[in-house]
Structure 1
Amino acid sequence: MVVGASSGIGAAVARELGRQGCRVALVARREEELRRVADAINGAGATHDLARLYVHDVTAYDEVPGLLERICRDLGGLDLIVYAAGVMPRLAADEYTFDKDRRTLEVNVLGAVAWLNEAAQRFALARAGTIMGIASVAGDRGRRGNPVYCTSKAALATYLEALRNRVGRHGVAVVTVKPGPVDTPMSRGVERRPFVIGADDAARQILAAARRRAVVAYVPRIWQPIMFVIRHLPSRIFRHLDL
């Protein structure tokens, strides 16, 4: 299943799962966009029931246990959950808008915790399954351009690491995906997008990471050495970079 499947990376991952013949649950709040993704999957498949859609706002946390139970029943089980829901609000220079910051944390962090906690319990009991969270290279350092977005992705990465340490001993894989810029509606309009890749290319790399049960997967891989250097820059240097 893919949470946040109506556009961007989530939609691309869902389509790639459909191309691989997987039955997939699509979860997002925008029904029209979600239906287009489902139609694309079902129209291209050998059968017409590969994709099922479930309209849900990830900040409706109380809905999660019942909805996950329903999805598992509809699909006949679950072996992979991808949390791809996310927001990245546009901020003016030196803008501090709490409503934007709160929404970012509600979607990027609390929504992930609500869904992945439930999935982790189910997978741990089954002693199988893969959990994936779409974090970001933005979470590796605190950048001045969007402090709370960076915070949300750092929090997600740390949560996934802790979850891995908790359920990995039960045979559950927890994969942290850290994309660089991906050509999606969320990133369009961002001035600089070095090493940008298409969403479909990102989806293929993400699912390859799931298959090999990676711990952390930078997408594309060029970001791994780049972020190694950036993470180790002294703060007195990093703060002067226009990032």
Structure 2
Amino acid sequence: MHGPWRTALVVGASSGIGAAVARQLAEHGCRVALVARREAELARLAAALGGDGSVRAYAHDVTRAAEVPALFQQICRDLGGLDLLVYAAGVMPQVAGEEYTFAKDREIVEVNLLGAIAWINEAAPRFDRARAGTIVGISSVAGDRGRRGNPAYASSKAGLDAYLEAIRNRIGRHGVAVVTVKPGPVDTPMTEHIDRKPFLISAEEAARQTLAAAARRARIAYVPRKWRPIMLVVRHIPSPLFQRLDL
């Protein structure tokens, strides 16, 4: 990781890709704010990474959007600025093939999409005024098509893709990098219930590729890169044929 960042905020930092991103940033000397709802895990990670106070933990449930503006300002003060925001919070509950449970769907959208909007809406104007900064949103290859397995998850990631593109079009011309990262299956607790996991990679490798994409100011980065041509083909499968496929 060779990014230009001195201060970073990672939302969804207690496990998975978010925790791995936070570790790699801290190892390269960044001052890092860790945000997640699991306070005990956050405290352990902060203690392991930044005994000197360079890594700070903030317990927060991303579905509580009203708390975000004040917490964001506090974090920026505590860090002495902000160069990088990574939104890595996400949920993917197990959904049966014929299940329609609104409570699950609402949680997915609130965490994966609305939480991202709440945090990025704070970072975007700050970076726009500074004419600098990097925003990274962890999306998914699942957002490229509406697969039958988990409609709300695919919708949340497709929505995140569109939101990040719109923010990129709004502030990217002012020197702000907005990076959409689209991983395939990653070996994290969130994917334990999934049977088929092609091209599975570790959270550490996903984090490494995520930060490399952010450092080169990529617009869209598939992780690993082999997913880019695969999803190009998948996106162009005619809908009647796609409906018949076991996807």
TM-score, normalisation: structure 2: 0.95
Identity %: 70
| Deviation digits for residues 7-42 of structure 1 (CA, Å, limit 9, x no counterpart) | 111111101111111110000010011112212212
| Deviation digits for residues 43-64 of structure 1 (CA, Å, limit 9, x no counterpart) | 5xxxx22210001111111111
**Equivalent residue for 1:187?**
191
**Equivalent residue for 2:127?**
123
What SS does the aligned partner of 1:26 have?
strand
What is the distance in 2 between the residues matched to 1:175 and 1:221? 15
Q: Which amino acid aligns with 1:121?
A: P
**Equivalent residue for 1:160?**
164
Question: Which range is displaced more, 220-229 or 231-240?
Answer: 231-240
Q: Which amino acid aligns with 1:23?
A: R
What is the distance in 2 between the residues matched to 1:80 and 1:182? 23
What is the distance in 1 between the residues matched to 2:131 and 2:92? 35
Q: Which amino acid aligns with 1:193?
A: K
2:42 pairs, out of 34, 41, 56, with 34
What is the distance in 1 between the residues matched to 2:127 and 2:184? 29
The equivalences for 1:47-126 within 5 A come to 48-126=52-130
**Equivalent residue for 2:3?**
none
Structure 1 stretches lacking a partner, 5+ long: none
The equivalences for 1:124-163 within 5 A come to 124-163=128-167
Give the superposition deviation at 1:237. 1.3
**Equivalent residue for 1:214?**
218
Is 1:6 the counterpart of 2:14? The answer is: yes
What is the distance in 2 between the residues matched to 1:122 and 1:55? 22
What is the distance in 2 between the residues matched to 1:97 and 1:75? 40
What is the distance in 1 between the residues matched to 2:148 and 2:72? 37
**Equivalent residue for 1:25?**
33
Give the superposition deviation at 1:152. 0.2
What is the distance in 1 between the residues matched to 2:78 and 2:209? 28
What is the distance in 2 between the residues matched to 1:185 and 1:60? 23
8 A contact 2:178–2:219 mirrored in 1: yes
2:231 pairs, out of 213, 218, 227, with 227
Q: Which amino acid aligns with 1:8?
A: G
What is the distance in 2 between the residues matched to 1:40 and 1:204? 19
What SS does the aligned partner of 1:239 have?
helix
Structure 2 stretches lacking a partner, 5+ long: 1-8
Q: Which amino acid aligns with 2:222?
A: Y
How many residue pairs align between the two structures? 239
8 A contact 2:94–2:193 mirrored in 1: no
The equivalences for 1:167-182 within 5 A come to 167-182=171-186
Q: Which amino acid aligns with 1:221?
A: R
Q: Which amino acid aligns with 2:25?
A: L
TM-score, normalisation: structure 1: 0.97
Alignment RMSD (CA, Å):
0.8
8 A contact 1:15–1:40 mirrored in 2: no
8 A contact 2:13–2:42 mirrored in 1: yes
8 A contact 1:6–1:27 mirrored in 2: yes
What is the distance in 1 between the residues matched to 2:192 and 2:244? 25
What SS does the aligned partner of 1:104 have?
helix
